[in-house]
Structure 1
Amino acid sequence: MKITNILFASTLLIGIVSCSKLDEKPESLLVSEQFYLNENQAVSAVNGTYRKLYESGQSIYNSLFQIGVEMATDDYEAGPRARNAHVRAISNLTHDASNDRMEQLWKQSYDAINASNQNIEYIALISPEKINDAIRKRLINEAKFLRALHYFNLVRWFGPVPLVLKPVTSLSTEELYVTKASEKEVYNQIIADLKDAENLPNYKSYGDNDKGRASSGAAKSILAKVYLTQQDWSNAKLKAQDVIDKEGYDLFPEFTDVFNIDKKNGIEHIFSAQFKGNSGYQGNSLASRSAPADIPGINGDYADAWHAEGGLYGTFSKQDKRLNITFTTGMISPVDGKYYALAKPQFNKYYDESVVGNQSQSSKNLPIIRYAEVLLILAEAENELNGSTLLAQTSLNKVRVRAATGDIEKNLSKDDFREAVFEERRKELTFEYQRWFDLARRGATYYVAKLKAAGKTNAAPRHIHFPTPQRELNLNPNLKQHPDWVNN
């Protein structure tokens, strides 16, 4: 869905050049008059906001996460064909406020937030006879879910950030030159939005055309993760348990099912970035970015690589069913039928056998949160509250048993069980945009130690956040750099 002739007012705030003239009525004022007139338009507007998660190219959940965030971990590095100097800088931890990936993370997130703000504001104003009330409420809560998800990313990446909750309706400096809200204020808004979004339908109530939309379970699951990130263990446990007891999710019997195109939006998929190859450039670009470049007929980019010094591959036992889904060590060429061994393992989760030779058209979805992670959230929160109890062990073991790695050792200390959960997250959620968040939420000392042990010797405490983009600081005199990045 494309809206034309609309000035997304927040893009002024984040520094996108606008073609609107300052002496004209801001076009954002025309949105409700020209577009949000009936139910069909409201649905189209919210559909368009979902697309901002995973639009083609380097959008937030379509590779920008990987090249702008995950490269700064112990498990990933810029591959041989990652030629962008800004991406290589993140991989080497030499990035700074001028990095263009930081600009894109900020810019695209606020563009999506503004779209949600417009949806929330203007769908509420549609005449009752033009929209079903239940649909109105659902769409507004979907927009709140999406807004919360973007702010959750932003506050974890950048720390304090501007909290913009209304579409900008004028070009006044008061509306354009916003200041940063505290992390607490941002988290309070995230929680409020997600609590509203808990009123969304259960995922099973959606028809085939609406599979993949935000649901009550998605809101509860992200909320559990928000509480976990804040170390609010009690609420993290309660919310994860609520998802497990009431929302009807489960693990697929086999790990391979998680990435089976025929089982997309299935019983384990709580909320995913939706990809569809050969359909207007809506493919999952991670498949191409991680695929081999030197096997005839594969035509991969090999721009996202496993960081061997981090040792991730070696943490998988040979019987671990996740290993050969997560990595590949060689492939048969579709051109000459020969097997080609790779110099080192490469990521393989999103490789789509139906589009060999054109992996940019992979139709494999990218999980944003799935049931396995909710089990791991419960295990972690319970351990922090009460130690490695039967509940904590049972939750962790459900993930381990499916992987064929067996039950966790009993009677582990709280510290040892915590490390076991984090290592399980590392293996279960590889290449799903989770590693940097997990390292950063453990704190600077933990993050730096892990990266230096992996040979990334430039790691420093400031790297548990990203710098406020210099371009935004130049455009908005009321923005201040994160203290950790001042004079760096």
Structure 2
Amino acid sequence: MKQIYITLLSALMFTASSCEDYTDVTPKGSLVVETASQFYEMVSLPNRGYPINNFQYLSDDQWMRESNVIGRTPNIDILNFTFDETVDRVSLLGGSSFYNQAYTYINRWNTIITLVDDSKGDDNIKQLAKAEAKIYRAYDHFLLINTYAKGYDPQTSATDGGICIMDKFDLESQPSKSTVAQVYDFIQKDIEEALPYLQEKPLDVYHPSLAFAYAFKAKVHLFKREIANAQAAAEKSLSYNNQIFDMVAYNAQGGPTAVAVPAANNVEVLSYMYMLGYTEMNLGQLYVISPELRTLFGTNDARFNLFFNTTSTSNLDQGSNTAYWGTQYTRFFYPTVGMKTTEVYLMLAECYARENKLNEAVDVLNTLRAKRILSGTVNLTVPATRKETMELVVSERRKELLFGFNRFFDLKRLNTETEYAKTITRVFPIVNKTVPQKTYTLQPGSRLYIIPFPLSVLQKNPKLTLNTDEKVPF
């Protein structure tokens, strides 16, 4: 039985040329992994990070301060914010923490899946470790495919360029790029193979629960427009955890200044993952929401009133109608890139809307809004059409699933459907009067929605080609 050594100072970033290099000597500062329980413990990975800086300003929910745009040399943020398609972005994306970290995590999951069967210990623990690693491997592939490829379209997915599938522990692999359809097939295969072995209450919160797994399954089905399956998975997830944190009651208690709600106390959380790390909301002044989103919140929404700052002269352009997250993570834990129960409710509402069950869709939205809206119109009325009902669902998704990649992914998937596609317009600047105000437009089919692979990765793997018409500078 071969042993594997994991350094305590890294997230399993191997530098040796093959597994054989790990069979003889235990490196200083390293840990021998040779039992099923140790492989199982490897699944628990606190502080997983998925930086969104390569694409965050393509969302209509986020905004940049005018001083960070006007007079500055265009970088990837400015190009995205101004929807500039005239520049090939590849040379500006020399590397990507998002790409590197997602594949580093996949390498970790593959290590467990490939090697745990040869370890010492209980076969049930081995099966559980593999199942948990597979659900996380599927999740990381899902994030990658929705960043670096076109949104899933049933008509074109079999030929749309995707990403490299990494399905085994192989330090020398240079995989070929798969199609979008192939990647989704791989994701769904991992999910289905994992589900029978996962637990309702795993060892700790960094191991995937059945509530999370079924929520993720629902999300994949929804993105593929497999509505009946998405609805069934969402209902299954809610059967394990259907709790909604009551922000209306929380507001009456005095909100985050009076009552702290750390991560362990937020009953909605299904998975603990972050953009940057568990303290990320201390950087809330960087998360400026657009005038459009601020207007969407209105004046009686606890999601806005409890947590956002609108008065700062240091972090906002006064008069721009923007706002930023102003609440420290120790006062209130807000999931950004992981999943939570309210996303499951919103997926269920969307399933109902797409099936023309408009009353049921609005009932689900009102269940959520009862815990979010402080006064005025809490219960929405049922629209006359499916499209109008979908607009209500999308509006609630924007207000509930803040930051992270949810809005960016939603724009991409909905843009593949004529009925729900959106042309984004951005008028800028709003406050500064020394430069001409312009209207910037992002069309639903823009290549900007497909993020180029990092230049460093393209150079190392000649089999990997861009999914856009941009030029590689070598």
Q: TM > 0.5 between the two?
A: yes
Aligned ranges 1:24-423 → 2 under 5 Å: 26-27=18-19, 30=22, 35-47=32-44, 50-51=45-46, 53-54=48-49, 60=50, 64-65=51-52, 67-79=53-65, 85-94=75-84, 96-100=89-93, 103-127=96-120, 131-159=121-149, 160-168=162-170, 171=172, 175-176=173-174, 178-203=175-200, 205-206=201-202, 210-244=204-238, 246-254=239-247, 261-262=261-262, 264=264, 266-273=266-273, 283-288=278-283, 290-291=284-285, 303-308=286-291, 311-330=292-311, 345-348=322-325, 350-352=327-329, 366=336, 368-388=338-358, 390-404=359-373, 405-423=377-395
Q: 1:33 to 1:138 in 2, by over 3 A?
A: farther
Q: CA deviation at 1:236?
A: 0.9
TM-score (norm 1): 0.75
Any idea what SS the aligned residue of 1:403 has?
Answer: coil
Q: CA deviation at 1:98?
A: 2.6
Q: CA deviation at 1:141?
A: 1.5
Q: CA deviation at 1:53?
A: 2.1
Name whichever of 456-465 and 216-225 sits farther off: 456-465
Partner residue in 2 for 1:15: none
Unaligned runs of 5+ in 2: 27-31, 150-161, 429-438
Q: CA deviation at 1:218?
A: 0.5
Contact 1:161–1:183, Cα closer than 8 Å, also in 2? yes
Aligned ranges 1:429-440 → 2 under 5 Å: 429-440=401-412
Q: Which amino acid aligns with 1:223?
A: K
Q: CA deviation at 1:439?
A: 0.8
Q: 1:28 to 1:187 in 2, by over 3 A?
A: farther
Q: 1:427 to 1:102 in 2, by over 3 A?
A: farther
- Which string of whole-angstrom CA distances, capped at 9 and with x for unpartnered residues, describes residues 212-263 of structure 1? 421111110011011111111111111112222x213221222659985346
Q: 1:481 to 1:239 in 2, by over 3 A?
A: same
Q: How far, CA to CA, are the matches of 1:424 and 1:371 in structure 2?
A: 14
Q: 1:484 to 1:400 in 2, by over 3 A?
A: farther
Q: How far, CA to CA, are the matches of 2:340 and 2:346 in structure 1?
A: 10
Contact 2:450–2:468, Cα closer than 8 Å, also in 1? no
Q: CA deviation at 1:206?
A: 4.1
Partner residue in 1 for 2:6: 3
Contact 1:68–1:102, Cα closer than 8 Å, also in 2? no
TM-score (norm 2): 0.77
Aligned ranges 1:455-466 → 2 under 5 Å: 455-457=439-441, 461-466=446-451
Any idea what SS the aligned residue of 1:482 has?
Answer: coil
Contact 2:336–2:402, Cα closer than 8 Å, also in 1? no
Any idea what SS the aligned residue of 2:42 has?
Answer: helix
Q: How far, CA to CA, are the matches of 1:32 and 1:306 in structure 2?
A: 53
Identity %: 21
Any idea what SS the aligned residue of 1:261 has?
Answer: coil
Q: 1:154 to 1:328 in 2, by over 3 A?
A: same
- Which string of whole-angstrom CA distances, capped at 9 and with x for unpartnered residues, describes residues 283-330 of structure 1? 422431x32xxxxxxxxxxx332233xx11011121222221342123
Q: How far, CA to CA, are the matches of 2:232 and 2:449 in structure 1?
A: 28
Q: 1:101 to 1:287 in 2, by over 3 A?
A: farther
- Which string of whole-angstrom CA distances, capped at 9 and with x for unpartnered residues, describes residues 50-81 of structure 1? 34623xxxxx1xxx12x222221112134456
Q: 1:167 to 1:86 in 2, by over 3 A?
A: same
Partner residue in 1 for 2:456: 471
Partner residue in 1 for 2:29: none
Q: How far, CA to CA, are the matches of 1:262 and 1:478 in structure 2?
A: 45
Q: 1:268 to 1:401 in 2, by over 3 A?
A: same
Q: Which amino acid aligns with 1:225?
A: K
Q: 1:345 to 1:167 in 2, by over 3 A?
A: same
Structure with bigger helix share is 1
Q: Which amino acid aligns with 2:93?
A: D
Contact 2:309–2:323, Cα closer than 8 Å, also in 1? yes
Q: 1:98 to 1:341 in 2, by over 3 A?
A: closer
Q: CA deviation at 1:384?
A: 0.9
Q: CA deviation at 1:436?
A: 0.5
Q: Which amino acid aligns with 1:235?
A: N
Q: 1:216 to 1:401 in 2, by over 3 A?
A: same
Contact 1:284–1:350, Cα closer than 8 Å, also in 2? no
Any idea what SS the aligned residue of 1:456 has?
Answer: strand
Name whichever of 405-414 and 29-38 sits farther off: 29-38
Q: How far, CA to CA, are the matches of 1:331 and 1:200 in structure 2?
A: 50
Q: 1:306 to 1:101 in 2, by over 3 A?
A: farther
Q: How far, CA to CA, are the matches of 1:457 and 1:151 in structure 2?
A: 30
Q: CA deviation at 1:269?
A: 1.3
Q: How far, CA to CA, are the matches of 2:221 and 2:47 in structure 1?
A: 25
Contact 2:281–2:329, Cα closer than 8 Å, also in 1? no
